[in-house]
Structure 1
């Protein structure tokens, strides 16, 4: 069965609003909620970047049913993996077993702030592998000392561990990352609805098969609005950065850089890539590519902090009904 989630996008909303919308999304019937973990918004027009882990802690106490997930945390630069191991264990306790730790290799936008430089893609992958190994060791509850290629851990132990171990989902982009990361993770995260990613994951030695224990978790931006012109305008203003693709998005360091890189992106270009307007059937057709590719979990990202209340009031319930009917 396909499940549908709601995105708590920290780049476009403040912390109290995010908690309020998390509660509403649960009441409306979303199955899970994912939270971005950014130090900066992609564009200044988005205007926010609260600390995701404080938001998630509050959401865990304010909700009862929905699964929660970071989408995604980079455990290699801004956070040391030992710190990620501790706070994810605490989150699982607060959430009573509803939390999944989503990890990825990060973007310069968020990680450059600690002034350690921005590694190349191969180095970032190797750092992520070592970080996951450290997190897994610490989640065992044992005393851990580790001296690796990128990280040192000295006599560390997580003292408050949940009975339900923290599942790890990892963001992948191609065969090389899947082959290195799939054996270390419980679930897959990917931003493109490509069946080949799932096929590679399922044929990687040591990986749990998607659909038979492992999950494939995707996300799709939408811009619902009763007025299509308003939706296109908002999507262009706040989400034109999305069209650059992750090969570009990972390396630009500032919102000013994203503004410059997307200065020639037109509203019609954004509308061609993101479903905009009141047509719920069009949104369903855009989401369809994910479940047809084999994704088990799909998070919707409604663009615009100012648009969340109206989306949840007017569109979310009938959209979920249509999605569930279409996905079977």
Structure 2
């Protein structure tokens, strides 16, 4: 199982993201994930730069693969524009760019004032969006009048030598079926072995990427405190992460998550054993790649821990 590094746009400035990417490549990480958000999950995280600008900058400082984790091409940005952004990114990264896509969250996508669709409708929209993008990546003029999207005589002129791979995020049985049908690979932030097994069976064993967060600190208690303040929202159950519309709503809901829940969910502190245990859950589930994100200011220390212990 290959190990990559996850760049969290919700928490770090553009300069910090670029620094982390350099450090990760120098440490021997296999590739990079990068999140695509309009808002952070809460105000404490405090950032959310435009992902396509960062991806362009990354092309000038790293040569390891980059995957969006994930872009939602169904509302905030029309799929014809996402297709152009992905094609340019693939050119800049010399083919080492993967477009990770998903059905998104209201937190990021409702900002244009459109109605936030139900999950089944979003899956339908995602499937049509991916089809539109793949038509455009062939290099011809595309006119498309579908149920959800219209393209009028659209053509992408700057194209990579091969179309970008599309990996699909999925957290339930219906989404896994869509991911297996339309995706070149699978993305998840949960080491769910049953869902991954189902994807592998339906897709003919296409590759799978997973991810988790850790919080490096001088002690476990300090790490728990930091992780809970910045990412307690990641412990919210069910579909809350998909339907809550603003960071303040996530902050309100996160009061349901206790520090002990954060402690049990994330490797916090300087102990490499906790990271080893988390990596093992993804390896045992059958993931081909796993990406780790740091929480808090000590990202250089976490990257060095991985260099020494795992890479």
Q: TM-score range by the shorter chain?
A: over 0.9
Match in the other structure for 1:43? 42
Deviation at 1:246, TM superposition (A): 5.3
* C-alpha contact (below 8 Å) 2:39/2:107 kept by paired residues: yes
Match in the other structure for 1:125? 123
Match in the other structure for 2:98? 100
Whole-Å Cα distance in 2 between the matches of residues 86 and 130 of structure 1? 16
Quick one: which of 85, 88, 94 aligns to 2:86? 88
Whole-Å Cα distance in 2 between the matches of residues 246 and 316 of structure 1? 31
Report the count of equivalent residues. Answer: 311
Whole-Å Cα distance in 2 between the matches of residues 80 and 135 of structure 1? 10
Match in the other structure for 2:241? 249
Match in the other structure for 2:51? 52
1:320 and 2:286 correspond: no
Match in the other structure for 1:300? 292
1:276 and 2:268 correspond: yes
Structure 2, unpaired ranges of 5+? none
Whole-Å Cα distance in 2 between the matches of residues 260 and 163 of structure 1? 47
Other structure's SS at 1:277 match: coil
Q: TM-score, normalised by structure 2?
A: 0.97
Whole-Å Cα distance in 1 between the matches of residues 79 and 309 of structure 2? 38
* C-alpha contact (below 8 Å) 2:216/2:301 kept by paired residues: no
Match in the other structure for 2:210? 218
Match in the other structure for 2:166? 168
Whole-Å Cα distance in 1 between the matches of residues 158 and 76 of structure 2? 23
Whole-Å Cα distance in 2 between the matches of residues 200 and 310 of structure 1? 37
Deviation at 1:126, TM superposition (A): 0.5
Deviation at 1:77, TM superposition (A): 0.5
Name the Cα RMSD after superposition.
Answer: 1.2
Whole-Å Cα distance in 1 between the matches of residues 207 and 60 of structure 2? 25
Structure 1 runs (4+) greater than 6 angstroms displaced = none
Q: TM-score, normalised by structure 1?
A: 0.92
Match in the other structure for 1:240? 232
